[in-house]
């Protein structure tokens, strides 16, 4: 289904261990325009996000976590360009993760992903330092935010 060694293969097979995240991050960044860390409690959603980002050819997924604690450690270890951060994680929330790491990785951009896209959650996330707040049903937007919109040979946007 996914090529062995690809980020999508890693996501399908399971969560990247924190111990290997730094070495994997260095290897994955070679040739990629952007590095991304995914903090999401659903294995299926993580695999879908990785596959979508792999399609861009410009993004390297440098680590993944399903728990709040692993997300904090992984983000600090890999120092990615972008973090896709679910609001609900095992053992904590994306808001807690954001508050714990935001000042320690000021160059990193945070995209909070949620099914709870109420104005109240949006406000709390933005106040905690999120750069973007997106509904999970709009996953296509994640790719566009990180890699930029795709275009055909005539410069027209692709859907």
> Is it the case that residue 11 has pLDDT exceeding 50?
no
In the CATH hierarchy, which fold is given to the domain comprising 7-147? Rossmann fold (3.40.50)
Residue 31: its pLDDT value, please? 66
Residue 148: its pLDDT value, please? 56
Over range 29-47, report the average pLDDT. 86
> Is it the case that residue 66 has pLDDT exceeding 90?
yes
pLDDT higher for 28 or 92? 92
Least confident of 46-50, 129-133, 152-156: 152-156
> Is it the case that residue 71 has pLDDT exceeding 70?
yes
Least confident of 1-15, 53-67, 68-82, 108-122: 1-15
Helices (H), 7-151: 7-13, 18-29, 43-56, 68-78, 94-101, 119-128, 139-147
Over range 115-123, report the average pLDDT. 88
pLDDT higher for 93 or 19? 93
Over range 40-44, report the average pLDDT. 93
Residue 118: its pLDDT value, please? 87
> Is it the case that residue 136 has pLDDT exceeding 60?
yes
Confidence of residue 150 (pLDDT cuts 50, 70, 90): very low
**Rounded to the nearest 5°, which phi and psi values hold at 17?**
-75, 150
Answer yes or no: pTM beyond 0.75: no
Residue 63: its pLDDT value, please? 96
């Amino acid at each position: 289904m996914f090529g062995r060694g690809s980020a999508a293969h890693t996501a399908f097979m399971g969560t990247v261990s924190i111990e290997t995240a730094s070495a994997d991050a260095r290897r994955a960044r070679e040739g990629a325009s952007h590095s991304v860390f995914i903090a999401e409690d659903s294995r299926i959603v993580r695999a879908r996000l990785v596959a979508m980002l792999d399609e861009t050819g410009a993004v390297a997924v440098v680590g993944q976590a399903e728990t709040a604690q692993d997300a904090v450690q992984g983000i600090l270890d890999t120092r990615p360009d972008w973090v896709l951060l679910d609001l609900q994680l095992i053992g904590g929330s994306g808001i807690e993760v954001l508050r714990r790491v935001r000042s320690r990785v000021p160059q990193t951009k945070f995209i909070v992903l949620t099914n709870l896209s109420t104005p109240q959650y949006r406000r709390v996330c933005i106040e905690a330092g999120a750069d973007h707040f997106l509904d999970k049903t709009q996953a296509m937007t994640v790719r566009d935010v990180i890699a930029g919109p795709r275009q055909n040979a005539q410069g027209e946007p692709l859907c």
